[in-house]
Amino acid sequence: MATWIRKSAHTRELEMVKRPENLQIVVRQPDIDLRPLMRRQRYWLGGDPVLTHFINALQATFPEGERFFIDSARDVSATLPPERMTPALQQDLNAFIQQEARHGRAHDAWCDALVDIGYTRMPEYDAQMKKLRLWSRKHIGALTRLALTAAAEHMTASIALLLLERRSDLLENAERPVRDLLAWHALEECEHKAVCFDLYQAAGGGYLRRSIALLFELFDIYVHVQTRLRYLLKTDGLWTWKMRWRVFRDIWGPRGVMGSMYGLLWRYLRPGFHPWDSDERAAFTARYGDLIPR
């Protein structure tokens, strides 16, 4: 056990070195109102109901998801001795919490805009996730919840990379201001993608737990997103067998949106993985910087 502890401490030191020297986790405060667009153009992603509602469904999991992340990070950081909570990690954690809080509010407003155009059950799904979040805080250990958070943060950073490299059409074909909101959120996911991973490592979290957490998160996101996606399409009278095939083909299948991301997600299972093995910030800013609100 003592050997593992020494190795773990050395690993944490190496991983903190991977933090880019020029890293700035910027707390932006955009003011984006999606209601006029939603009222004018229901299918704002190239007129495609499947892709539009996939993004609507995915983002609807974010508000309570962001609050789960904040709770988990705070609960673990409160238990760390000062020598493990370095000034850089504390600074990054504070900025991470502020960014995530703003993301949650922005996506609450997005869900309100969906309710405004007739998707009145969206608050029910949010309430279910809130109940799960509160239950988990009582019954699941803080380190395990942080492992789930670090895995989820890898997923959101992978979505940002997907928008940059493999499926740029999802951002470029979206109407503004949805495009602005997505670009803002994606860039900030790139900025803070390692915070919870580093905190998990500093708290002594191991490989097996974080790997299982990723697999659980994949299943969890499928259940929550598919439930909301089915509801949105069904409300529009579009939940036909033909549309169900399209959902599989264009979202979950090997050539779908999520299928295009699986290779990015599996990187997390490499034993020596660290989120800063790659840095997409400059490329993302160069391509989409004009969309990102200040």
- Print burial letters for 60-92: b (CB count within 10 Å at least 16), e (below 16): bbbbbbbbbbbbbbeebbeebeeebbbeebeeb
- Would the pTM count as exceeding 0.85? yes
Q: What is the pLDDT along the chain (294 residues), one digit of tens a residue?
A: 222 333 444 444 444 568 888 899 999 988 899 999 999 999 999 999 999 999 999 999 999 999 999 999 999 999 998 888 889 999 999 999 999 999 999 999 999 999 999 999 999 999 999 999 999 999 999 999 999 999 999 999 999 999 988 899 999 999 999 999 999 999 999 999 999 999 999 999 999 999 999 999 999 999 999 999 999 999 999 999 999 999 999 999 999 999 999 889 999 999 999 999 999 999 888 888 776 766
pLDDT of the residue at 294: 64
- Measure Cα distances from 251 to 57, 83, 255 in Å: 12, 45, 8
* 127: number of Cβ within 10 Å: 11
Please give the structure tokens belonging to residue 190: 């790139």
> For tokens 């509010």, what's the residue?
105
